[in-house]
Amino acid sequence: MRDSLKFFDTRMEYEPTEVFNEDTRVPTPSSEDITAYATYVTTASKMENEVPVIALVYIERLLRKTGVLMNKYNWKRILLVCLCVASKVWDDDSLENIHFPKVMSDVNLLMLNKLE
Environment class of 28 (CB within 10 Å of its CB; exposed 0-12, middle 13-18, buried 19+): exposed
46 within a domain of the structure (yes/no) = yes
pTM comes to 0.80
Indicate if the pLDDT at residue 1 is higher than 50. Answer: no
Query: What are 32-35's contacts with CB under 8 Å, separation 24+?
Result: 34/75, 34/79
Cα–Cα distance measured from residue 71 to residue 46, given in angstroms and rounded to the nearest whole number:
27
Residues 14-56: pLDDT tens digits? 565 666 666 667 788 999 999 998 998 899 888 899 999 999 9
Count of domains observed in the chain: 1
> Rounded mean pLDDT of 59-83?
90
**Worst-scoring range by mean pLDDT, 17-21, 59-63, 73-77, 99-103?**
17-21
User: Is residue 9 domain-resident?
Assistant: yes
| Dihedral class, residue 18 (left if φ above 0, else alpha if ψ from -120 to 50, else beta) | left
In a domain, 14, yes or no: yes
Q: Which domain holds residue 81?
A: 2-21+37-115
Please determine, for residue 79, whether its predicted confidence score (pLDDT) is greater than 90.
yes
pLDDT value of residue 36: 93
Residue 10 falls inside a structural domain: yes
What CATH number did the domain enclosing 73 receive? 1.10.472.10
CB contact set of 96 (below 8 Å; sequence gap of 6+): none
Q: Please report whether residue 26 resides in a domain.
A: no
Q: Is residue 30 part of a domain?
A: no
